[in-house]
Amino acid sequence: MKTISLISQLIIPLFILLTILYGCIKRVRVYDCFVSGAKEGVGVVIRIFPYLLAIFVAVKAFQSSGAFELIQGLLQGILETFQIPIDVVSIALIKPLSGSASLGVFTNIVKTSGPDSLATRICAVIMGSAETTFYVLAVYLGAVGIKRTRYLVLVCVIADLVGIIIAISIVKFFS
């Protein structure tokens, strides 16, 4: 574990060092180059902002409306038949929507059901194998002003769903 986390700490500094040294060797004006690249950042973020705003407002509203609890209630029966802890639903629903909120929900599950429980293990695997899909979609599509997404969103949603089922099956298989 120690070595792995050391390696992960080293990646970014080493990468930046390598980039700058290589630039110097190739006689590139590294500082001017960096500044001219960074200048583009402002435009990019301004372009993305309205898309971010739209998705954040919708997600926060959805979280506060209590719709989550209803979906949990609906799924409870199905989950009990397969002996899957109910906590899995909260993670499965929140992870595609919000990274920070899912971290909060996950921490709470660890706290309430114990760090080595089945619920915790399934949720941990979902946390690591699912992405904040709608944030990624909003940012990446917003960055280039794409309006027609064809079948992309459908594929992403189905893939998320199957991904969660895969995560649950793998943890159940391993334990």
Total binding residues toward other proteins, as defined by CB under 8 A: 98
Buried b / exposed e over 116-144, threshold 16 CB at 10 Å, is eebbbbbbbbbbeebebbbbebbbebbee
Whose CA is closest to 94, among 130, 141, 53? 130
Site residues (CB under 8 A) for other proteins, limited to 69-98: 70
Instruction: Find the shortest distance in angstroms from Cβ 7 to other proteins.
Output: 9
Answer yes or no: are the C-beta atoms of 129 and 163 closer than 8 Å: yes
Of positions 3, 6, 11, 83, contacts other proteins by CB under 8 A: 11
How far apart (Å, rounded) are the C-alpha atoms in residues 147 and 154? 15
Asked whether position 63 contacts other proteins by CB under 8 A, the answer is yes
**Amino acid letter, residue 87:** D
Of positions 14, 45, 78, 86, contacts other proteins by CB under 8 A: 45
Residue 110, φ and ψ in degrees, nearest 5 = -60, -40
Instruction: Find the shortest distance in angstroms from Cβ 60 to other proteins.
Output: 3
Site residues (CB under 8 A) for other proteins, limited to 103-162: 103, 106-107, 110-111, 114-116, 120-121, 124-131, 133-134, 136-141, 143-156, 158-160, 162
Name which of 63 and 79 has its Cβ closer to other proteins.
Answer: 63
Residue 157's CB is within 10 A of a number of other CB atoms, namely 13
DSSP state at residue 149: -
Of positions 3, 6, 12, 77, contacts other proteins by CB under 8 A: 12
Answer yes or no: are the C-beta atoms of 91 and 144 closer than 8 Å: no
Instruction: Find the shortest distance in angstroms from Cβ 20 to other proteins.
Output: 7
Of positions 3, 4, 13, 77, contacts other proteins by CB under 8 A: 4
Asked whether position 6 contacts other proteins by CB under 8 A, the answer is no
Asked whether position 61 contacts other proteins by CB under 8 A, the answer is yes
